[in-house]
C-alpha cells in the first residue's frame, strides 16, 4: 500500500462526526490555553496515531508532517461545531511579534468577554484589569503616540485607585433611581504585590505578554477574545448633533485586518492606515516595481519609522531626552 493510500494519513471524513480524537484535541486547548501551529502538529499526530492506527501496521504512526492544513482545519471546524452552544470557539491569529507564527486559542465569543474573567478573579482584580486596559488604549494611545502597552512601573501605580478612569467612575444616582437600588461596588484597589501577582498570572495564562523592555501588552489570545469589547469600549462614533468626529483608538491592520497593537503607521498623522511589520513589508515588497512606499490610502511616503506599540514610547522618550540635551547644550 502506498503512503497516499495508507489509512494513517487519510483526512478524516466529515461523516465521522465528533469522536474521541476531537475530544482529546479540545482537551489539549483546555490544558494549554494557547497553542501555535508547531505545537499542535505533534499533539494532533499523537492523537491521530492512537485513534486511527491500523493493527496491521502498528509501526507506522502519524508524524507532525502528516498533519496538513486541511486536516487541521477540518478538525477545528468539527470541534467548533460542538462548541457553538457554549459561546466558545477555537480561533487563530498571526502573532504580531517575530517570528510571525500562527497562534490558536480557545476563546469566549461573547462581546463582553472581560466579564468572563470574574469566574477566576475578584471584583477588585477585575477593576484593576480594566484600569490597565484603560491605560493601554486610552491614556497611552494618543494621536501622536500609539503605545497600546504599559510599563511595569505604570501598572504598579494603578493598583490603588487614584483617579477616575473610563471604568472606575462612581455611580451618581438621579431622581429616577429606585430607593431600594443595590449599593454599587466601591473599588478600593489592590496592593502593589497583588497587582504584580495578577500580572504574572495573566502572562502565564497567555492573556498578557511582557517584553524584554518590561512593557505589558495584550497577547494574541486576548486580542482574539476581546476584539469586540475593545472596539465597543475605546472607539467612539461620530456625533452629528455635537459636531464631533469619530474617535478610533483600536485599528485593524491594512493587510490582515487583525487588530494592531505592535507595528507601524502611516507617516501622515491624520491617516488611519496601520500595519503589522510583516504585513507592511509584504505589501511594499509586492510594489517594488512601482517604486516608493506610498500609503495605499493617502499616498504619503511611509518611512516605516512611525511606530505603534512600545517602540513608539521609546522613540518619544529618546526625542524628549534629545530635546533636553539640546537645551542644556544651548545653555552651556
* Domains with residue ranges and CATH for the chain: 3-86 (no CATH), 115-169+187-310 (1.10.10.10)
Question: Grid coordinates in use for 151?
Answer: 510599563
- The model carries a pTM of 0.78
Predicted confidence at residue 70, as pLDDT, reads 92
Closest CA to 199 of 209, 189, 191: 209
pLDDT for position 307: 96
Euclidean distance between CA atoms 317 and 315, whole angstroms: 5
The predicted pLDDT at position 58 comes to 64
- HSE value, Cβ hemisphere, 13 Å, CA-based, for 147: 21
How far is 84 from 181, CA to CA, in rounded Å? Answer: 36
183, three cell numbers: 449599593
Question: What was the pLDDT predicted at 168?
Answer: 47
| pLDDT recorded at residue 61 | 85
Give which of 129, 104, 136 is closest to 114, Cα–Cα: 129
How many helices (H) and strands (E) in the chain?
Answer: 10, 9
Task: Give the pLDDT of residue 185.
Answer: 57
Q: State how far Cα 97 lies from the chain centre.
A: 11
C-alpha–C-alpha distance, residues 218 and 201, integer Å = 13
CA distance 22 to 28: 10
**Would you tell me how many other CB atoms lie within 10 Å of the CB of residue 201?**
14
How far apart are alpha carbons 46 and 24 in whole angstroms? 10
Alpha-carbon distance of 253 to 169, in angstroms, equals: 32
Q: How far is CA 102 from the centre of its chain?
A: 12
Secondary structure of residue 255 in the 3-state scheme: coil
Q: 148: which residues sit within 8 A by CB, 6+ positions away?
A: 136, 137, 140, 141, 217, 218, 261, 262, 308, 309
Strand, helix or coil at 242? coil
Residue 164: the pLDDT is 52
> C-alpha cell of 124?
477588585
Question: What letter does residue 104 receive in the DSSP assignment?
Answer: E
Separation between Cα atoms, residue 120 and residue 201, nearest integer Å: 11
**pLDDT tens, position by position, for the chain (332 residues)?**
444 444 444 444 444 589 988 999 999 998 887 899 899 999 999 998 887 754 445 677 888 988 899 999 999 999 999 999 998 999 999 889 877 789 999 988 876 667 777 778 999 999 999 999 999 999 999 988 999 999 999 999 999 987 555 554 444 344 444 444 444 557 789 999 999 999 999 999 889 999 999 999 999 999 998 998 999 999 998 876 776 788 999 999 999 999 999 999 999 999 999 999 999 999 998 777 666 789 999 999 999 999 999 999 987 655 554 443 444 445 44
Cα separation, 33 vs 47, whole angstroms: 18
Rounded CA gap, 35 and 105, in Å?
A: 6
CA dist 207 and 226 (Å) reads 10
Terminal alpha carbon distance of the chain? 85
Q: Would you state the pLDDT for residue 94?
A: 87
Residues in the chain: 332
Q: Tell me whether residue 256 is exposed, middle or buried, using C-beta atoms within 10 angstroms of its C-beta: 0 to 12, 13 to 18, 19 or more.
A: middle
Amino acid at each position: 500500500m502506498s503512503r497516499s493510500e495508507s489509512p494513517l494519513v487519510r483526512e478524516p471524513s466529515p461523516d465521522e462526526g465528533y469522536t474521541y480524537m476531537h475530544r482529546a484535541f479540545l482537551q489539549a486547548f483546555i490544558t494549554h490555553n494557547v497553542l501555535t501551529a508547531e505545537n499542535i502538529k505533534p499533539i494532533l499526530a499523537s492523537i491521530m496515531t492512537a485513534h486511527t492506527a491500523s493493527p496491521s501496521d502498528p509501526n507506522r504512526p502519524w508524524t507532525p508532517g502528516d498533519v496538513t492544513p486541511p486536516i487541521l482545519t477540518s478538525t477545528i471546524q468539527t470541534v467548533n461545531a460542538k462548541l457553538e452552544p457554549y459561546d466558545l470557539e477555537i480561533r487563530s491569529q498571526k502573532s504580531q511579534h517575530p517570528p510571525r507564527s500562527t497562534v490558536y486559542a480557545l476563546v469566549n465569543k461573547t462581546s463582553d468577554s472581560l466579564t468572563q474573567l470574574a469566574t477566576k478573579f475578584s471584583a477588585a482584580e477585575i477593576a484593576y484589569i480594566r484600569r490597565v486596559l484603560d491605560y493601554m488604549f486610552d491614556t497611552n494611545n494618543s494621536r501622536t503616540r500609539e503605545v497600546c502597552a504599559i510599563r511595569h512601573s505604570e501598572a504598579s501605580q494603578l493598583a490603588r485607585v487614584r483617579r477616575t478612569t473610563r471604568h472606575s467612575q462612581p455611580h451618581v444616582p438621579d431622581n429616577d433611581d429606585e430607593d431600594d437600588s443595590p449599593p454599587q461596588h466601591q473599588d478600593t484597589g489592590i496592593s502593589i504585590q497583588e497587582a504584580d501577582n495578577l500580572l504574572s498570572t495573566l502572562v502565564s495564562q497567555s492573556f498578557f505578554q511582557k517584553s524584554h523592555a518590561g512593557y505589558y501588552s495584550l497577547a494574541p489570545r486576548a486580542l482574539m477574545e476581546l476584539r469586540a469589547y475593545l472596539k465597543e469600549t475605546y472607539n467612539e462614533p461620530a456625533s452629528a448633533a455635537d459636531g464631533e468626529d469619530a474617535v478610533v483608538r483600536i485599528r485593524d491592520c491594512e493587510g490582515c485586518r487583525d487588530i494592531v497593537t505592535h507595528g507601524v503607521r502611516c507617516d501622515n498623522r491624520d491617516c488611519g492606515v496601520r500595519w503589522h511589520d510583516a504585513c507592511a513589508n509584504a505589501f511594499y515588497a509586492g510594489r517594488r516595481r512601482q517604486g516608493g512606499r506610498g500609503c495605499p490610502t493617502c499616498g504619503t511616503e511611509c518611512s516605516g519609522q512611525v511606530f505603534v506599540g512600545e517602540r513608539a514610547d521609546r522613540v518619544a522618550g529618546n526625542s524628549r531626552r534629545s530635546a533636553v540635551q539640546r537645551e542644556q547644550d544651548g545653555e552651556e
